[in-house]
Amino acid sequence: MNQYENIKQGEKGAWISIFAYILLSAIKLIIAYIGSSSALRADGLNNTTDVIASIAVLIGLKISRKPPDNDHHYGHFRAETIASLIAAFIMVTVGLQVIVGTIQSIIEGNYEQPNMLTAWTALGASGVMLIVFRYNLKLSKKIKSTSLYAAAQDNKSDALVSLGAFIGIIGAQFGIYWLDPIAGLAVGVIIVKTAWEIFRDASHTLTDGFDEDQLKEIKSSIAKHPEVEEVKDVKGRLHGSQALVEVTIFVDPDLTVQESHDITERIETLLDEKHDVPHAHIHIEPFHEENNKE
């Protein structure tokens, strides 16, 4: 399965998230209004942002499937990462609104005992989102999609948010009325925290950040190749979910051009099969004893 087919598979996960969030946000907001629960209302508002974020991920995935053109020679894979960034901005905006609104409610002392229906709604929603999380997490690892993985983490945080809302509502049933708005405040904090994590990962990718440990493993594998005298340099960047690696190696200066070319092909195969790096640029330089001198 090639990268474009992988992205198409990822769109299924985005669609499942969208449908789940639309259904759950509508149910939560209606029942929160009827049952007077600040925590469930905050949870429902959280899901409305998740709808927008999931749509952004879906659009990003669709753009990523566009093939290379005259001004995008490497394709459009980074649209997926940009979608994650947009989703993070949307989430942090609503998260801050939830925090401010809940704090105002606590200061004003607007405490009400929520109906038990709101508790069972929160608990049921938590179960649904755990199922969606497991599906998207498994799919994101299978197709190696960074944006779908971010969506899966958002699914997990939503399941935990709903569980927290359930606990807050149950506490209010025992006279601890302030526990419900406190749970709503916790929801806002979780939204902002999740948004920050998605933003951090997306911005790291867009600024050509790459896992240092993975680079060390790649360098070690290449250095063990019998025809490589020394590995001079290894650089890496992510293009969407694809790893692009540039390697400079020293080889026997007496090798022919064809023999040197064959070495680069064997290293490219090694990187693809062992480190899941489908695109690598291998630069060959002649090895001399002075290369070992510091």
Domain at 212-292: CATH code: 3.30.70.1350
pLDDT surpasses 70 at 194: yes
Rounded to 10 degrees, what is the CA torsion of 149, 134, 16, 203?
-10
Query: Of all residues in the chain, what percent carry a pLDDT higher than 70?
Result: 93
Task: Tell me the pLDDT tens digit for each residue of 115-132.
Answer: 888 889 999 999 999 999
Q: Domain residues of the chain, as ranges?
A: 3-206, 212-292
**Which of 88, 287, 65 is CA-nearest to residue 206?**
88
Task: Tell me the pLDDT tens digit for each residue of 227-236.
Answer: 888 888 899 8
Task: Tell me the pLDDT tens digit for each residue of 245-281.
Answer: 889 999 988 889 998 899 999 998 888 888 878 788 8
How far lies 66's CA from each of 30, 202, 238, in Å?
40, 20, 17
Report the predicted TM-score, pTM, of the whole model to 2 decimal places: 0.68
Structure token digits, residue 138:
């498994």
Task: Tell me the pLDDT tens digit for each residue of 51-92.
Answer: 887 887 788 878 877 777 777 767 777 777 887 788 788 778
Class of CATH domain 3-206: mainly alpha
